[in-house]
Each structure stands twice: as C-alpha cells, then as structure tokens.
Amino acid sequence: MTDTVTAPFGRRLSEITEARDSGGYRVFSALDSRGPEPQPGQFYMLAADRGWGGADGRPYLSRAFAAAGAETGRRGVRIDFLAEAVGPGTDRLTALEPGDGLWIVGPLGRSFSPPRELSPDAAGAILVGGGIGVATLAIWRRALAAAGVPTRTLLGFRDRRHSGGLELFDCSEIRLASEDGHAGHQGYVTDLLAVMLEGDDAASAAVYACGPPAMLETVRELCADRGVAAELAMEAPMACGFGACFGCAVPLADGGFMRLCVDGPVVNAAEVETALVAGAGH
C-alpha cells in the first residue's frame, strides 16, 4: 500500500479522456499509456500540450498536481486530477477537454503510510481535508477502504464556489464544515477534528491531512498536543518536482531543511517545524 513508485525518466504525453465540473472545481482524467500507477499521496508535474506559454510567456514551468484517483486498465493508467483555477497554469489545465494532450512527469514524491506504521495503536484513520487539498485524500480513502481500514473523513470548504470533489471519495459518510455555513458545521474542519480527538479512542487512529497551511498547522498542533500520530500532505512552490531546484525547501523540527518534492509531499507531522510554508496555499 505504501511502496513509493518512481517516475520513468523524462516527461511523456498523455491524453485527456474526461473533463467535468465538480462544484467550484474541475476534475480531469489523463490516460498514461507508459507510466506506473501512483501511490496515494504522490503527485505529477503537469503542462498542457497546447497553449502553455502565452504572449507574456506564462505559464512556463509545469505545475504540481496530486493524483486524486488512479486505475490501471488495458490501455494504461487513468489518473484523475482535481483542480482549482487560481492563475495562468491552473486556468489552462481547467480548460482541458477530452482529446487534448497533457505532458506529465511522475508519479513523484513520498506516499502516505498506513496507520499501524505511524503508530502501533492506530487501527484506523481520520482524514482531514481543506479546499483543493481534498484531492490527495480521495485516492487515500479508497486505498484504505480497499485494505479494510476503518476511516472517518472530515472535509472543510470556504464557501460553495471553493468546494468540490466529494464524489471522488466514493463514500457517503463524510462530515462537512464550511466557513459560510452552506454545508455541515459552520466553521473550520479543524473544529470537527478537535471534537473527535477529545473522544476516548483518539489515539486509536492516525490523522492524515491536506489543505491550506493554516489548517495544516492547526492539525499539527492538535495532534502534537494529544500525542496522535499524523501525516501532512504539504505544498510549497515547486519549479522542478524532482529535487533539482531547492525551491520547495521547508524547515525541519530538529534543524535543517527537506526538499518537499522528494522527502514529501507527505511528511510526518512531528518532522516539520511548521506547516506555515511561505508561497503555498491560495
């Protein structure tokens, strides 16, 4: 379930097979005829085959995207991505249609660890997702379900426009929070986590979180205070995605730095000094 898969050398051209709206986000699927299936938590560097590099040269570099789903079939691996348009790269990627070409490098980075690997007492998992960060948790929830691991899922969104991807979880038991109150608890998803961790069985689950830096930092603090094992899928500005540029360095709790693209993006919460990474989140 957690063997990290390494990317074939170089970038390769995949084909968009499906693209649709999902709430305020966009889901698109690419058929990768040559690559291995990604492990949950891993990501790809993406660039559209056409319209990449406008009049002002942007977008120029590939953009990092978590795999939100994957399935191997006769013609290759179908990889699902969930995207929010926030700038030139994501504007172009959310405009992709079936038949379009997509350059991919990946799967990259470190995947999630099963609960028992994080803590011998952790028989189950609590997933905590915020905004577009729910993408990587969708593929992880499916893998946990397939392995028979009891999983509780908490997802939070700012408002209706900044929400989506729920159907990728293939699960009806999701507890929601929204800042504007349009769905579930009005407030932060971390409010739900704090209540859940007050329960007697708090230490019997490992926490897995992905979302904006402030949300991840609250998760990190809550879990540290209560001695609950946790992994965070973090983001940092990534220019290469495979360890060459050092643009994604984040500070470690015991000094020094890690390159999030090769030593993450999934990190043990106890390893990092903070989840408040400059330049990440939108």
Ligand X SMILES: Cc1cc2nc3c(=O)[nH]c(=O)nc-3n(C[C@H](O)[C@H](O)[C@H](O)COP(=O)(O)OP(=O)(O)OC[C@H]3O[C@@H](n4cnc5c(N)ncnc54)[C@H](O)[C@@H]3O)c2cc1C
The item of ligand X, ligand FES, none sharing an interface with residue 63, based on CB under 5 to 8 Å by kind, is: ligand X
* Beta-ladder partners of 155: 129, 176
Contact between 259 and ligand FES (CB under 6 A)? yes
- Residue 40 in tokens: 């949950």
8 Å CB contact between 193 and 224: no
Query: How far is Cα 265 from Cα 7, in angstroms, rounded to an integer?
Result: 15
Angle CA 74–77–82, to nearest 5: 140
Q: What residue ranges bind ligand X (CB under 6 A)?
A: 43, 59, 63-66, 81-84, 86-90, 132, 135, 235-238, 265, 279-282
The item of ligand X, ligand FES, none sharing an interface with residue 265, based on CB under 5 to 8 Å by kind, is: ligand X
Min separation Cβ 5 and ligand FES, Å? 18
Query: How far is Cα 67 from Cα 29, in angstroms, rounded to an integer?
Result: 10
Closest CB to ligand FES among 108 and 138?
Answer: 108
- Residue 20 in tokens: 């649709």
Question: Cα-atom radius of gyration of the chain, to the nearest Å?
Answer: 18
Task: Using CA atoms of 46, 279, 92, 264 in order, give the dihedral in degrees to the nearest 10.
Answer: 20
Min separation Cβ 83 and ligand X, Å? 4
Min separation Cβ 64 and ligand FES, Å? 8
Closest CB to ligand X among 162 and 220?
Answer: 162
The item of ligand X, ligand FES, none sharing an interface with residue 239, based on CB under 5 to 8 Å by kind, is: ligand FES
Q: How far is CA 213 from CA 85, 118, 276, in A?
A: 18, 22, 5
Looking at 86, 195, 224, 244, which residue binds ligand FES (CB under 6 A)? 244
Min separation Cβ 78 and ligand X, Å? 16
Looking at 204, 247, 251, 270, which residue binds ligand FES (CB under 6 A)? 247
Q: How far is CA 196 from CA 15, 151, 175, 193, 227, in A?
A: 42, 13, 11, 5, 14
Query: How far is Cα 249 from Cα 88, in angstroms, rounded to an integer?
Result: 24
Segment contacting ligand FES (CB under 6 A): 86-94, 97-105, 215-223, 243-251?
243-251
Closest CB to ligand X among 97 and 198?
Answer: 97
What residue number has its CB nearest to ligand X? 87
SS3 state at 206: strand
In the complex, which residues of this chain contact ligand FES (CB under 6 A)?
238-241, 243-248, 259, 261
